Amino acid sequence: MDKFDCIIIGAGPAGVAAALTLVRKGLTVAVFERGEYPGSKNLFGGILYSTVLNKLIPNFREDAPVERHITKRRYSILSKNSEMAVEFDFEDFNHSPFNNSFTVLRAKFDRWFAQKAEEAGAVIFTETVVDDFIYDKGKVSGIKARREGGDVYTDVVICAEGANSLLTEKAGLKKKPLPHQMITASKEVISLPREAIEDRFSLNNDEGMALEFFGGAVKWMIGSGFIYTNGDSLSVGVGCPISVMKENNMKPNDLLESFKSHPVIKKLLRGGKTEELSAKMIPELGCKNLPRLIADGLLIVGDAAGFVNPSLYREGTNMAMASGVAAAETILEAKEKGDFSEKGLEGYIKRLKDSFVMKDLERYGDVPEKLSEMPQLFKEYPDAILKMAEGYFTISDLSKDEMHRQAWKGFKDKVSLWRFLLDMYKARKAIL
């Protein structure tokens, strides 16, 4: 096989964004994808932020398989059988650029995105696993694909292999993540007619909604459940740190089923039909535990690098694309200098630091760590708050004042007020 200017491992958003950027500048690029087609092994919860995609493919919305643009958000805490929610509806997000927030189904979207890179000149080898790098005097100079004549050479490799980062770890750039640094998420795509979705979630044509649920949604563990509206389906899932799942001997599928059968969630899924089950790990390494991002002849991008904003934004794919573009720009610079050593690739780190990627990771990267110190946020508070609210709204023979007193007393018996206020302050400071 010929030598390529750059080899990219993985045809997800990070790898393809890099490929697109490089081929447009005339470099020869090979992308290796182990799935039957790009996207066939990819999934996420639901929302693609498109600020980077906008620059790569302006007007992508006219062509790309996007499901809905997000105009509504709802955050809820659930107790065993009640809900307290805050809901936002932004009419202004109904106009271009639609707040750069779209639900997509990745098997469709990633396939389309990869096709754009292919049309621009990237060579995509599907059904091809990469098992290792080839080294020349310590510098990565190619890859070993699991096929005949699978040694392929290059100046530089971008590793966009995803969250289950076997190669990055093998190359010694990353330690195997610890159970508390990875979320295990399970999801179902549940079909539902468009009209039913729009009626149920109060949406106009193409408008979409993102819903996230805490507390009783995931058996009062740290983590959350979610529902995202697609065109004619819902993405419904749960995600919790693997460490927390282990502590509770919890089966992900049991957790998902328990979420789906919560009385509040059950109502939202009526008329639906499960079409597919999927599962994925989400890296939440924290900005202090990111892997080494560059080595001689090698750059790490996307989930493999741990580029996920774990706060309420839940941003992964956009960071992946941003890191892919940053890696590609660095390679263009390195090619001009003819230096693909680690030193020659340092521009990648600078680009990330100057962009929202590192800034947001520094701001939000340790949110999970901070929240893990306050399990009561997910465990005790949801029920205490909802019980108090239920008491407040309960109509009985007692005077309203008496009902309020009882509700308040019930709350204070369960929760230390000072600790509650302090926790609320700390949680707000961490998340918002």
Partner 1 sequence: MNKIEQALQPLEPKTLSEKLFLVRFKTDTESHLKVNSEKCKVCRDKSCIYICPAEVYKLDEKENIIISYEGCLECGTCRIACEFIEWMNPKGGYGVCYKFG
DSSP line for 6-41: EEEE--SHHHHHHHHHHHHTT--EEEE--SSSTTTT
Q: Which is nearer to partner 1, 69 or 260 (CB)?
A: 260
Least separation in angstroms between residue 34's CB and partner 1 is 5
Q: Please calculate the CA angle 304-308-314 and round it to the nearest 5 degrees.
A: 145
Q: Which is nearer to partner 1, 275 or 373 (CB)?
A: 275
Q: Which is nearer to partner 1, 208 or 272 (CB)?
A: 272
- Partnered with residue 130 across adjacent β-strands are 145
Least separation in angstroms between residue 166's CB and partner 1 is 7
Tokens of 361: 């990771």
Q: What is the DSSP letter of 315?
A: B
Q: Which is nearer to partner 1, 24 or 200 (CB)?
A: 200
Least separation in angstroms between residue 280's CB and partner 1 is 5
AA identity, residue 104: V
Least separation in angstroms between residue 216's CB and partner 1 is 18
**42, 39, 41, 15: which is closest to 29 by C-alpha?**
15
Q: Which is nearer to partner 1, 223 or 391 (CB)?
A: 223
Q: Which is nearer to partner 1, 106 or 351 (CB)?
A: 106
Least separation in angstroms between residue 171's CB and partner 1 is 15
Element (DSSP H or E) covering residue 204: none
Least separation in angstroms between residue 349's CB and partner 1 is 26
Q: Which is nearer to partner 1, 43 or 56 (CB)?
A: 43
Q: Please calculate the CA angle 266-271-274 and round it to the nearest 5 degrees.
A: 80
Q: Which is nearer to partner 1, 226 or 381 (CB)?
A: 226
Distance (Å, rounded) from C-alpha 243 to C-alpha 272? 32
In 176-251, which ranges are continuous DSSP H helix? 194-200, 242-247
Provide φ and ψ at 64, rounded to 5°. -75, 150
What is the contact surface with partner 1 in residues (CB under 8 A)? 34-36, 39-44, 105-108, 110, 126-129, 131, 145-147, 163-164, 166, 176-179, 182, 184-186, 188-190, 192-193, 195-196, 199-200, 233, 242, 245-246, 249-253, 256, 260, 266, 269-281
**237, 246, 233: which is closest to 218 by C-alpha?**
237
Q: Which is nearer to partner 1, 119 or 275 (CB)?
A: 275
Least separation in angstroms between residue 299's CB and partner 1 is 20
Distance (Å, rounded) from C-alpha 31 to C-alpha 168? 17
**387, 321, 346: which is closest to 18 by C-alpha?**
321
Count of all residues that appear for the chain in the document: 432
Distance (Å, rounded) from C-alpha 84 to C-alpha 392? 13
Least separation in angstroms between residue 374's CB and partner 1 is 23
Least separation in angstroms between residue 302's CB and partner 1 is 15
